[in-house]
Amino acid sequence: MTTTAEHVLPTADEAAPRPPALSPSRANDFMQCPLLFRFRMVDRLPEPPSSAAARGTLVHAVLERLYDAPLGERTRDAALALLPGEWERLLTAEPRYAQLFAPGGDADGVAVDDWLRGAGKLLGTYFTLEDPNRLEPESRELRVETRLADGPLLRGVVDRLDVAPDGAVRVVDYKTGRAPRPGFEASALFQMRFYGLVLWRERGTLPRMLQLVYLGDGQVLRAEPSERELEVTEAKVRALWSAIQEAARTGEWAARRTRLCDWCAHRSVCPEFGGTPPAIPEGALLERLGVDAA
């Protein structure tokens, strides 16, 4: 589906404009459909709140907060006890999520308590995959950023970073959906290699392990990246950024019709469905992509 959860709550210092950068989510948008990338990255068209995205944000928040507890107290019951407070915190930061349960909302007809129990089941799955009492992450919800030489600025958020006593780095990302079917892991692996590339360039240390934890079905996808794999990822990111800048200069944002269009919030303004894209806001290309289009 086209909805991508942004599980980091905004902070006060994010009001100031930041330099244009590419994140793995937006990179995947462009590969999926350049016009979707434009709608999200350049036009920043509003999208109705998604219960799946909200649940993902909530579960990520609980898993982040869980590691504040001392070793021995990071239990399933402790995680479940965090749910109501983190949900209230999320509603305060993102009041639009209250619309989920209103008539016509994405979770219309679903009781909030039942919805929270669904998030609790995902947290329960987490405890079948890892014992947080045996882990002491170096970082949680780590914002990473690096500029490639003569290339784009890359930016993202790593759910958890583990560093072993011998210095080995493991990058961990939680997913509240189900693992991709065999043969369809490319998008997920690209995201993880993107993070691996950023950390490698930022810290000078090649991550030992990239790990995706799927709470929807209890599967774990692991990869041990080589320098060559991350160099290939860098080349792909550079080519992708060049294609984005070319689309911005020419105004040619191709609409790519796939089965994922069924979940797209922008069908009414998509040419594939008889719509007309809005005019790009003045100055948006320069501000958000660094391109001063003619």
| pLDDT (average), residues 268-277 | 97
Confidence of residue 17 (pLDDT cuts 50, 70, 90): low
Same domain, 155 and 226: yes
Name the more confident of 293 and 157.
Answer: 157
Which of 207, 236, 265 is where one domain is finished?
Answer: 236
pTM of model > 0.85:
yes
Q: Taking 90 as the threshold, does the pLDDT of residue 284 lie above it?
A: yes
Same domain, 81 and 126: yes
Same domain, 81 and 150: no
Domain that holds residue 229: 139-236
- State pLDDT tens for residues 242-267: 999 999 999 999 999 999 999 999 99
Reduced to 3 states, what is the DSSP secondary structure of residue 23? coil
Q: What is the CATH number of the domain that holds 231?
A: 3.90.320.10
211 occurs within a structural domain: yes
Contact call for residues 8 and 157 (beta carbons, < 8 A): yes
Which of 236, 252, 281 is where one domain is finished?
Answer: 236
Confidence of residue 185 (pLDDT cuts 50, 70, 90): confident
Those residues whose C-beta lies under 8 Å from the C-beta of residue 146, and which sit 6 or more positions away, are: 153, 154, 198, 201, 202
pLDDT at residue 11, as a whole number: 45
pLDDT at residue 292, as a whole number: 80
Which of 85, 115, 134 is where one domain is finished?
Answer: 134
Please calculate the CA angle 62-98-177 and round it to the nearest 5 degrees.
45
Contact call for residues 157 and 56 (beta carbons, < 8 A): no
Same domain, 213 and 182: yes
pLDDT at residue 101, as a whole number: 93
Beta-bridge partners for 170: 162, 209
Mean predicted lDDT score pLDDT of the chain: 92
pLDDT at residue 150, as a whole number: 85
Same domain, 157 and 123: no
